[in-house]
Each structure stands twice: as C-alpha cells, then as structure tokens.
A and B are shown apart, each in its own frame.
Chain A
Amino acid sequence: AQKITQTQPGMFVQEKEAVTLDCTYDTSDQSYGLFWYKQPSSGEMIFLIYQGSYDEQNATEGRYSLNFQKARKSANLVISASQLGDSAMYFCAMREGGNTNAGKSTFGDGTTLTVKP
C-alpha cells in the first residue's frame, strides 16, 4: 500500500498568491517525521521543511508552512506569496518510527507546481 499519497500531479498558481500542495500518509507508528523537498528543473533536491509527529505546532520556514493534521494523516505544504522561482516539483516524504528506520524516508510521486506571472 502506498504510504505517501500526493493526489495532485500538477498545480497552477498565480504569482503572489498562496498555494496548498496535498500530502496524505499511512503509518501505524506513533513516532514519525514528515518532510517536504523541492526539485527544480535543474534536478537537485532541496529540503524545505520538517514536521515531527509529536510537534504540537505546525512547522514554518519563511514562506513555507506545513499544515499538519495528525488525525487525518495529512501534511499539506502551504507556500505563501508564490514566486516564479517556486515553479518546480515538490515531494512529500515520511520517515517511520524506530531506530532501524533512522533517516530512511519514503517519498510520494510529487506535484509539479507552475507559477504564472
């Protein structure tokens, strides 16, 4: 069963507007971590934001915030004030609990975001 689901293959947003990229996950562990990465057309993978399962507050990093709804098992990425440079593919990833899974992440299939001028 897919553990990370990103249901939006492609999204469009107008420059300066906010956009939400969806991510749902499946795990039976109580301890886990959720990550978002950005992959521009140049191909590199860039870390954006992290949320731990026990974190009570939603994570924020500049224009990025993570809307974490634990009961619904969702970890949506919100990008505020979109910029043309935000056009990229975005991946949600999850690390499940336990020391044997230290750092090992499962990735979703990604969402391609296009920012329109």
Chain B
Amino acid sequence: DAEITQSPRHKITETGRQVTLACHQTWNHNNMFWYRQDLGHGLRLIHYSYGVQDTNKGEVSDGYSVSRSNTEDLPLTLESAASSQTSVYFCASSEAQDYEQYFGPGTRLTVT
C-alpha cells in the first residue's frame, strides 16, 4: 500500500545545530508540503513543492530549507535550530489541487 513516512519520529537537539527531517511518500504525488503544529494550534505551512526541482516558501519559512531531487522525498532542514522551532512537524502530499492531503505521522522536535 502507498504511504507517507517521516523520520525520525522524535528528535531532541541543541540550539545552533543543523537538523534534517525526512519525508518519503510512495503515492507518486507531485505536490508535497511541510507544516509545523504548535501546541493547541492548527498547521502552518513552512515550505512546499509542486514537483522535482521546485520549492516554494510558505508563511513560516525563515530558518528552514527544503530540496526536491526526486518525486518521493522532500527533506526539511533547520539550518541552525532555535528553541522557537520546538514543534511537531508534519509532511503531506497531494495528487492535485482539489484533492485531500495525505499526512505523515509527524516528527516531534525539541530544541534545548
């Protein structure tokens, strides 16, 4: 069965370190997204991609970067982790604009 996975599921890191969160989908979707969810709130878009070599900034992109070298993967990199980036990170993919997004299980990141 097709799926979307994220790794690691939990990560503790120190302020200033570079961190990369992996997202892998086997749906063969062109559209992929990264969101962060802070306690008690909805999801805010960090970066998104509409296909290989395409990346775009979302509403909270400062301090984050992504790259899309193939259809299946969209890794999210925190260049220099800050305590304000402690959050749960969700990756999602969708087939087309009017289709629902399929979400990964989330990565809980703690920056100490």
Contact = CB atoms under 8 A, between A and B. Distances in A.
Interface in A24-77: 33, 35, 37, 43-47, 50, 52
15 contacts: A35-B101, A45-B90, A45-B103, A47-B100, A50-B98, A50-B99, A91-B43, A95-B98, A101-B97, A102-B31, A102-B50, A103-B33, A107-B35, A107-B42, A107-B44
Contacts, number: 63
Nearest to B42: A107
A33 B103 contact: no
Interface string B59-99: 00000000000000000000000000000101010101111
A109 B44 CA distance: 10
A103 B42 contact: no
B22 interface: no
A89 to B, nearest CB: 9
| Residue with the highest number of chain B CB atoms closer than 10 Å, among A4, A99, A106 | A106
Interface in B31-63: 31, 33, 35, 40-45, 48, 50, 58
B41 to A, nearest CB: 5
Nearest to B108: A43
A93 B92 CA distance: 14
Overall SS of chain A's interface: strand
A110 B41 contact: yes
Contact of A102 (B40, B45, B88, B97): B97
A12 to B, nearest CB: 18
Nearest to B105: A44
A109 B101 CA distance: 17
